[in-house]
Amino acid sequence: MKKILITGSNGLLGQKIIYNLLDRGNFEIIATAKGENRLKEKNGYEFVSLDITNCVAVASVFEAHKPDVVINTAAMTNVDQCESEKEACWELNVNAVKYLAQATEKHNSHLVHLSTDFVFDGENGPYSEGDEPNPLHYYAESKLASERVLQDYDIKWSIVRTIIIYGIVDDMSRSNLVLWAKNSIENKQTINVVNDQYRSPTLAEDLAEGCILIAEKEEEGVFHLSGPETHCILDLVYMVADYYDLDKSYIKPITSASLNQAAKRPPKTGFVIDKSRKILGYNPVSFMEGIKILENQIKEKSK
Ligand SMILES: NC(=O)c1ccc[n+]([C@@H]2O[C@H](COP(=O)([O-])OP(=O)(O)OC[C@H]3O[C@@H](n4cnc5c(N)ncnc54)[C@H](OP(=O)(O)O)[C@@H]3O)[C@@H](O)[C@H]2O)c1
């Protein structure tokens, strides 16, 4: 059986990948995360604590496990934190990818690496894999640099770009667009929502499935894996409110300019996912279907 190693297995995508792999049962799984294992399920895989910014630790975990495939989900993902903690951002989002690429080269593995729609400037979305990146902020620059790292090594590599991941994890430690909108309005908090940014939100399960299809099929190159629809963020929040029958008067439309964010967000991204559909058989759910799936998971968890 082939061995697959996941970095950042405590994260939103990391957890979904582990659970998907456990269901499939066709890989020997090594889950790695910084610190303790926070997945509820502890059986069916091996857990190894791994800080990917420690190049000695990365080399020794690869030496011990010799993975056939590695999916790197670990990253500093908070855009504003990346702007204020540039060194730490570069260390995790770029240098650590070099450590993984070096180890991948040594052990002849296949490195599947996660990137973002933010590599684009948002002037001409939705984007295909061949479109020209033009990052607008430090997080985006670091992710584009990480993509270029892979091409400097003699390895099998795949880049997975994705957009606004939504879903729930075992410890519910992280929020995302759907949970934020739902929880805020349910708690009668007014939320400011931008009316001039367009995105294709991605159900975490769909993204996990796409990453695993790449690993199974050993497909190399760049893949866009997002949800199938592109909407304005304000409309996405209205759709969440509609689904849960929430009071929309708590939603306050604003423009991006009024937010005065240090890191300027691209106005319109969104992906063309034809290549992923064709080559991988990737078939993501609509946003409304995704919200429904999430709702069932929340109900399950609260039992
Ligand atoms: N979330 C989105 O909307 C979005 C959009 C576009 C692209 N992406 C990309 O998709 C990927 C997965 O995103 P996600 O939302 O699943 O991220 P996430 O939930 O923030 O997970 C990232 C994980 O990385 C771990 N990590 C942090 N520093 C580490 C280190 N030094 N060594 C090992 N692990 C470390 C974190 O550990 P702790 O949990 O202990 O902090 C966290 O579990 C990332 O590459 C991200 O850039 C995400």
Q: What is the pLDDT of residues 64-76, one digit of tens each?
A: 999 999 999 999 9
pLDDT band at 275 (very low <50, low <70, confident <90, very high): very high
Compute the average pLDDT of residues 40-46.
Answer: 97
Structure confidence by residue, pLDDT tens digits, 143-186:
999 999 999 999 999 999 999 999 998 876 678 999 999 999 99
Chain mean pLDDT for the chain: 96
| 251 Cα to the center of ligand 1, angstroms | 28
> Coil, helix or strand for 25?
coil
Rounded to two decimals, what is the model's pTM?
0.98
- Answer yes or no: is pLDDT of 287 > 80: yes
- CA 297 and chain centroid, separation: 19
Smallest CA-to-CA distance from 218 within 113, 97, 68 is with 68
pLDDT above 90 for 115: yes
Structure tokens at 99: 């450590």
The stretch 276-299 carries a mean pLDDT of 96
Tell me the mean pLDDT in the region 174-202.
95
Secondary structure (3-state) at 242: helix
* Mean pLDDT value of segment 4-31: 97
Which residue's CA is minimally distant from atom 10 of ligand 1?
Answer: 114
Asked, as a colleague might, if the bond just before 126 is cis with ω within 30 of 0, I would say: yes
Can you tell me the mean pLDDT for 190-201? 97
Mutation to probe ligand 1, out of 5, 6, 7, 12 (largest number of atoms < 8 A from CB): 12
Q: Determine the pLDDT at residue 172.
A: 66
Q: What are phi and psi of 210, to 5 degrees?
A: -60, -45
pLDDT band, very low/low/confident/very high, at 302 (cuts 50, 70, 90): confident
Q: Position of tokens 């080559």?
A: 279
pLDDT given for residue 189 in this prediction: 97
Q: What share of the chain is helix, strand, coil (3-state, %, to 5)?
A: 45, 20, 35
Å from CA of 74 to ligand 1 middle? 4
Instruction: For residues 126 and 135, give the distance between their C-alpha atoms in angstroms, rounded to a whole number.
Output: 15
Which residue has the CA at smallest separation from atom 42 of ligand 1? 11
Helix (H, G, I), strand (E, B) or coil at 153: coil
Indicate which residue's Cα is closest to atom 8 of ligand 1: 116
Q: Whose CA is nearest to atom 32 of ligand 1?
A: 51
The CATH superfamily assigned to 2-172+200-230+268-287 is NAD(P)-binding Rossmann-like Domain (3.40.50.720)
Distance CA(177)–CA(89), nearest Å, equals 23
* Range with the poorest average pLDDT among 79-93, 147-161, 233-247, 250-264: 250-264
What is the β-pairing status of strands 191-194 and 165-166? unpaired
Tokens 């997002």 sit on residue: 226
Which atom number of ligand 1 is nearest to the Cα of residue 92?
A: 31
